[in-house]
Structure 1
Amino acid sequence: MAALIVSFLTYEIFVPSRGENVLLKIRRLIPYIGWELWQIYLATIDVTKRVLGILPVDPRIIEFDTTLRSDFALVTFANSITLTPGTITIDIEPEKGRYIVHAIAKEPAESLTVDQTMQKKVGHVFMEE
């Protein structure tokens, strides 16, 4: 998380973009970090139940497209997926916005492909809604 915050805060210094509202992005990033930490906590409980045999392990590799286009939004989304226990970003095709992800079971996979809450929240932070 610290690397994400530092990268976010210093990105505009090295790669300035015209007309971007950095302060608005920072204001949107703070609640996203809290939400992501909560998702990590919930996913940790889910993975623990799967490791203990309470829930089934049904690994799968999924491909899906996203509407995110900026490099920073794509990387933030990929890192958020990987930080959340039970999912790992394998590859990104940035020109298509396509992700290849390994998920420990059907439910974590569906949260990325059907629910898309994480993608929508990252899009909100980077004003790509």
Structure 2
Amino acid sequence: MYFVNNEHEQNYKKMVLLFPEARKTPPNTEYQVACYVISYPVLFDIHQGKPGDHPFTWYLVNKNELQIPLPYKALIDLGLHLYGGGSHDFNLLRSLSYWSYDADMVNVFFQALAIRKVWIEKQQKSI
């Protein structure tokens, strides 16, 4: 699994401990991808390791008060989109333009897709 640094990896381990759904066998990939996104160091610092009842509660409850730079807001939107089964708006082209100068964020995007892709593959096999 790709992490931007050791802090990101340690944050992810903390988030997975908070949300047992991410540790189940088979794991819930919605929770895994949410834990992965909110463990990104800048986002983890915002919620200080206390995201709430669900991975994005911290954001949904406080989004009007939070001043999050657009590249990180796009990462949150990606996480919400993948966590919520596609019900949250996510603009791929705009997000890629925000991340175009940051290879780490692009790699996080691809890793998030890879985490969530496992669920999609399982759904296709059951059809």
TM-score, normalised by the number of residues in structure 2: 0.30
Give the structure with the larger strand fraction: 1
The structure with the largest helix share of the pair is 2
- TM-score when normalising by structure 1: 0.30
